[in-house]
Copies of this chain bind each other. A is one copy, B any other.
Amino acid sequence: MALQYSALCKGCWQQMHVPIPLRGGFSMPFRVVGIRPSRMNPNICTICEMMFERLMKARTVTIDATILFADLRGYTRLSQSVPAAEVASLLDTFYDHCAEAIWAFDGLLNKTLGDAVMAVFNFPIKHPDHARQAVLAAREMQRCFAERRAQLAQLLGPEGADFGVGVGIHTGAVSFGEFGHSHRDLTAIGTVVNIAARAQAAAGPGEILVTQEVRDQAPVELQDRAARDYTLKGFDRPVTLYTA
């Protein structure tokens, strides 16, 4: 997917109708004072990233958001059997596909750790159907990664078949803000985040698992999807998940 980055900050424009140039000559004076494209989403600016803090004068806020976790199933095993350069290249591809899919649907690539990625949808760029956007981003990730997966399956035989992206998505109220004082860190926390992470852990290679709440927000995309109850680590009651 050839992603065209926005010339103006989408967050500032959507929420304040202020045009903040992100690219080209007009962006220069802004860059000098530290206003540049966010590393988490190149279509918003660094002010926007921190907007909740400056505007709301709170360190954390409760927002309605969709959380997406993706990771590479079989990554640990694969790291042992393929050369280091191949592992690095795989991770490059994975991060790139994830970033582009997340940004194409206006999400924030909030975190990467090893073979895992966490994204937040509906902040700071808002969409009434943010859960649906996250599902579409997840499908785009799977579509982009399918080619690489097929190559590996060919290269590695049965072992390659266990390799692929697993995605988990949940939506609801999260605490978004900066945590820690010595090392400040912008992220979302709460049970919605934990369920999304556990749903991802339950997903097989190539699979997307979403909660009932996500399904309710994307009824067209997710009608007639199979439901199954999963026992998720840290949760007493089973959680119903749908393949998307």
Contacts and interface: CB of A to CB of B under 8 A. Distances in A.
Q: Can you tell how many copies of this chain the complex includes?
A: 2
A151 interface: no
Interface stretch (A12-20, A122-130, A186-194, A202-210): A186-194
A116 B113 CA distance: 9
Given A88-B60, A194-B114, A235 B183 contact: no
A193 B234 contact: no
A114 B39 contact: no
A112 interface: yes
Interface residues of A, number: 51
A182 B62 CA distance: 29
A111 B76 CA distance: 18
A115 to B, nearest CB: 9
A198 interface: yes
Nearest to A193: B114
A180 interface: yes
Given A88-B175, A92-B180, 11 more contacts: A3-B182, A79-B191, A91-B180, A92-B179, A92-B181, A96-B182, A111-B112, A112-B180, A114-B118, A114-B187, A114-B193
Interface of A: 3, 39-40, 42, 60, 62, 74-77, 79-80, 84, 87-88, 91-92, 94-96, 98-100, 103, 109, 111-114, 116, 118, 175, 177, 179-185, 187, 189-191, 193-194, 197-198, 233-235
6 contacts: A3-B182, A60-B88, A79-B190, A112-B113, A114-B193, A114-B197
